[in-house]
Amino acid sequence: MPDVGEGLTEAEILKWYVQPGDTVTDGQVVIEVETAKAAVELPIPFDGTVHALHFPEGTTVDVGQVIISVNVGGGDAPAVEAPVAEAAPVVAAPAAPVAEEEEPKGRQPVLVGYGVAASSTKRRQRKTSSTVTAAPEAPAVVSVPEQLNGHGPAAARPLAKPPVRKLAKDLGVDLATVTPTGPDGIITREDVHAAAAPAPAPVVEAPAPVAAPAQVPVPVQAPAPAATAEVSSEARETRIPIKGVRKATAAAMVGSAFTAPHVTEFVTFDITRTMKLVEELKSDKDMAGLRVNPLLLIAKAVLVAVKRNPDINAAWDEAAQEIVLKRYVNLGIAAATPRGLIVPNIKDAHAQALPELSKSLSELVATAREGKTTPAAMQGGTFTITNVGVFGVDTGTPILNPGEAAILAVGAIKLQPWVHKGKVKPRQVTTLALSFDHRLVDGELGSKFLADIAAILEQPKRLITWA
């Protein structure tokens, strides 16, 4: 499993495109995985025949673990399929693979984490060598040392990776009391979460689930019960594993909320003239074929306001104890997707004219909806817009995207009574909310920046005079 992002430590296998016995070529896409940032298709770096898939779809695998082996020696792959289950990487061997035992494939979800194995695992037979064994017709895989101390699972000190030890310490779990389910008796994150989870109440036992929960929460409907039948407990609760984008978003939001001191300010104003300009631009020949909507002009107003208040476009470097002022704007747009909230950004949005910005916005939204946003597209953002108004919400208090100084929430645009030229008239009105990091942005800067955005949208001619 390669590191497909910047510093990612694990990825979930969404789909295998090949099976044992299939012929593959260098560069062929063989798997789709979901990292904490996005779904990514991965190519195979070998020519040969697939020997085995070492993990099933739905499994979360650490970066660096072997997920597929390919026979690159020119011989045919074995006709039988190797068990697809969570196991240690296979040691390269001559011609025939090492005998393996079947492992349970299902995983029982728990309250936190990904779930634990349904029962104790039977591990495959392994060679004791800790080096790569080269053979003409061996699968293209690499072996790993049995243990750092040279002993097996019976070593006195519980075996666990440093991140798992830290997790156990944070949750108050004694590793000596944890039953390991990982390869060679290594304690995994799931084992720690299972040990930390409270014991279930003695209620009527529900049948074991026959499939992993869906990726997106879906209301579960119980079948119509017979006159004497009781309602199944499965119809009352649905448990969704916390992983992928949802897990990463949760961690980032908690980190942001408890690291940066948030301040949120609001402004309600008349956006009628901007709405009229939107309609005019839709028929403008220079914007032909491009998507024109209020968000486009709000984004442009933000870019002009950043130019007038450049210190808002900054980051707090805790390690260096420095404020980093950025003279470019990578404009993030929060997007709700089936896999969770993501924030791709438009690189160097400050340098784009309105038609180019419209095209960039359209591409960003379309890619996000298709679930094809790349990790690179979500890196390096400097300022974020979240449009909660599309859900009919008036406003909100958004949490900062980590590494940024401010985020703007756009509320619903509604026809309301408003005093215009001394008379109460129906006008298009909206509310903007700006959350900012009070370590870098004081009340004066935040207020001026928010007021500038509102002023531009009240009188959109300022897009020209202030640009």
Torsion of CA 321, 326, 331, 332, to 10 degrees: -10
DSSP 19-83: -TT-EE-TT-EEEEEE-SS-EEEEE-S--EEEEEE-S-TT-EEETTS--EEEE-SSSPPPSSPPP
According to DSSP, residue 209 is labeled P
For residue 116, the surrounding DSSP H or E stretch is strand 116-117
Q: How wide is the angle at C-alpha 142 spanned by C-alphas 138 and 146, nearest 5°?
A: 120
Query: What is the pairing mode between strands 406-410 and 383-387?
Result: parallel
193-219 burial string, b = 16+ CB within 10 Å, else e?
bbbbeeeeeeeeeeeeeeebbebeeee
Residue 148 and residue 172 in contact, taking contact as beta carbons nearer than 8 Å = no
Candidates 193, 157, 195; CA nearest to 178 is 195
Residues 258, 389: Cα–Cα separation, whole Å: 26
Q: What are phi and psi of 449, to 5 degrees?
A: -65, -50
Query: Active-site residue 151, yes or no?
Result: no
For residue 314, the surrounding DSSP H or E stretch is strand 314-317
Residues 226, 229: Cα–Cα separation, whole Å: 5
Residue 25 and residue 47 in contact, taking contact as beta carbons nearer than 8 Å = yes
Candidates 422, 426, 274, 343; CA nearest to 36 is 343
Q: How wide is the angle at C-alpha 147 spanned by C-alphas 145 and 148, nearest 5°?
A: 95
Rg, Å, the chain Cα set = 27
Task: Give me the catalytic one of 51, 193, 350, 438.
Answer: 438
Q: How wide is the angle at C-alpha 322 spanned by C-alphas 316 and 326, nearest 5°?
A: 65
Which residues carry out catalysis? 438
